[in-house]
Amino acid sequence: MFTEEAWKSQEYALSQLDADIWQLRLPLPYALDHVNVYLIEGDDGWTFVDTGLNISAARALWKTTLETLEIEPGKVKQIVLTHLHPDHFGLAGWLQDRLSTPETQVPVYISLYESQRFVRFWGNINKEAWYEGLHRFFRLSGIEEERAHSITNKSRSTGTKTRPHPTFSAIESQGTLQMGNRTWEIIHAPGHADGQMIFYDKADRLFLSGDQILMKITPNIGFWNDSERGVLQRYLDSLKELKNYEVRVGYPGHKWLVGDWQQRIEEMFVHHDERLDTTLNVVKQKTDITALEVSQAVFRLNELNPQQSSFAIAETLAHLDLLEGTKTIQREEVNGVWRYTVI
């Protein structure tokens, strides 16, 4: 579970990591083809951390898992979601329906920030104005009209794999949370999702690290149409804070377990430092460059599908945004397109 080879040799499905914690690896129909969710057993019932996407292959694996571990309605204390990306919360409603009893509904906890984002996003997702905003955002990035249109249209199909939506209970991203027989410190870990919560069990030096710390891949840190400025800075600040924790092992939302916590964080700093350097060098080479042009120089954009290229652009914008924040470059809007110049 600690090395790429060991991890690859395992099928999608259930592995017991501790006496009381199981990892369930569920399939995703994307380039990143799986998500890890966790089941924690306790005297007062089970806690599930994240749920997977609502696709039949994932539902089938959940059914087998519930049978194997003899988890019936009434035995689940709570479902806790690190953040509200579809691959993490998509089956929360389905599980809540399935595992509640007529007397007690299983609570689905999310952070206050994510609950507000949920209302903003899902409350607007079917409204034309939302897509107009998204389209305008892609145009601002320098994407040509036709491609902006196709990427915007692509995003209309997102969301069907998250229904039914659960009834959420919002909590503050601070203090502690009892999951299983363990007491976990709740840590606010912004950047990838600004309301992400991750969890630390000090007694066992164990982190449930969500999408904040991943092996091999760096979490997508993107600046989107509804993002607040400074998203990459918030992520780097979070990494700095997380580096101070003493960690035996991190249980992440994707890929294999994080064995060397400090080293992995160091690698992610190096990655973003290098990416910032590359981004700045590209901006230096052309005045009034667009985010799309920067993105094309940094990524092999032509090899990416519309969803991947929108993520690449959002990542580029996050790096440009940080360079603006440090007054290294400046952005000007000219005819509905952002143009960047070195200061």
Which residues of the shown chain bind Zn ion in the complex (CB under 5 A)? 85, 211
Q: Based on CB atoms, which residue is closest to Zn ion, 28 or 283?
A: 28
Closest C-alpha among 249, 173, 242 to residue 212: 242
**Helix or strand (DSSP H, E) at 29:** none
* Rounded least distance, CB 334 to Zn ion, Å: 33
- Between residues 194 and 211, which has the closer beta carbon with respect to Zn ion? 211
| Lookup: tokens for 200 | 């630390």
Rounded Cα–Cα distance for residues 51 and 38 (Å): 8
Contact between residue 236 and residue 278 where contact means Cβ atoms under 8 Å apart: no
Q: Could you tell me the smallest distance in angstroms from the CB atom of residue 50 to Zn ion?
A: 9
Least separation in angstroms between residue 286's CB and Zn ion is 33
Closest distance between Zn ion and the C-beta of residue 139, in Å?
Answer: 26
Contacts of residue 144, defined as CB under 8 A and 6 or more positions apart, other chains included, come to none
Judged by CB, which is closer to Zn ion: 6, or 112?
112
Pairwise CA distance, residues 322 & 328, whole Å: 9
Could you tell me the CA-to-CA distances from 326 to 233, 250, 321 in Å, in that order?
A: 10, 32, 9
Q: Please name every residue paired with 23 in a beta bridge, in sequence order, or none if there are none.
A: 15, 38
**Shortest-Cβ-distance residue relative to Zn ion:** 85
Separation of alpha carbons 256 and 242, rounded Å? 19
Provide, rounded to whole angstroms, the least separation between the CB of residue 89 and Zn ion.
10
Q: Residue 4 corresponds to which tokens in the numbers above?
A: 């790429």
Closer residue to Zn ion in complex, CB, 86/230: 86
Coil, strand, or helix at residue 182? strand
- What is the number of other CB atoms lying within 10 angstroms of the CB of residue 316? 27
Nearer to Zn ion, 92 or 329 (CB): 92
Burial of 149 (0-12, 13-18, 19+ CB in 10 A): middle
How far apart are the C-alpha atoms of 117 and 127, rounded to whole Å? 16
Q: Is 85 or 339 the residue whose CB approaches Zn ion more closely?
A: 85
Choose between 105 and 122: whose C-beta lies nearer to Zn ion. 122
What minimum distance in Å lies between the beta carbon of 20 and Zn ion?
25
Shortest Å, Cβ 88 to Zn ion: 6
